[in-house]
Structure 1
Amino acid sequence: MVEWSMVLTATGEVGDVIHLEDKATKRASGRSIPLNRELRAALVDLHARGIRGADCPVIFSERGVGMTANTVVAWFTRLYDRLGFQGCSSHSGRRTFVTNAARKVGQAGGSLRDVQQLAGHRSLAMTARYIEFDSDSQRRLVNLI
Structure 2
Amino acid sequence: MKGQPAKVLLAGDVRALVAAARRSRHPDRNVVIVLLSTKAGLPACEIAALTWPMVLDAGGEVASMIEIPAAAKKGSGRRIPMHPMLKAALKRLQAETAATEGPVVCSERGGPMTAKSVVNWFTGTFDALGLDGCSSHSGRRTFITEAARLVHCAGGSLLDV
Query: TM exceeds 0.5?
Result: yes
State which of 33, 40, 51 in structure 1 corresponds to 2:98: 51
Note the residue ranges of structure 2 that are not aligned, 5 or more in a row. Answer: 1-48
Secondary structure, aligned partner of 1:106: helix
1:76 and 2:76 correspond: no
Identity across the alignment (%)? 54
Aligned residue number for residue 34 of structure 2: none
Q: Measure the CA separation in 2 of the matches of 1:31 and 1:49.
A: 28
- Taking the aligned partners of 2:127 and 2:108, their CA distance within structure 1 comes to 18
Q: 1:73 to 1:27 in 2, by over 3 A?
A: farther
Greater Cα radius of gyration, structure 1 or 2: 1
1:12-27 pair list within 5 angstroms: 12-23=60-71, 25-27=72-74
**Paired amino acid for 1:45:** R
Q: 1:93 & 1:2 partners in 2: Cα distance?
A: 16
TM-score (norm 2): 0.63
- What's the CA shift for 1:53? 4.2
Counterpart in the other structure of 1:98: 144
Q: Output the amino acid matched with 2:92.
A: D
Counterpart position of 1:129 = none
Q: Give the 3 Å change call, closer, same or farther, for CA 17–84 of structure 1 in structure 2.
A: same
**Higher relative contact order, structure no. (Cα contacts within 8 Å, ≥ 6 residues apart):** 2
Confirm or deny that 1:29 pairs with 2:76. yes
Query: What number of residue pairs does the alignment pair up?
Result: 113
Equivalent in 62, 65, 72 of residue 108 of structure 2: 62
RMSD: 1.7
Aligned AA (2:152): G
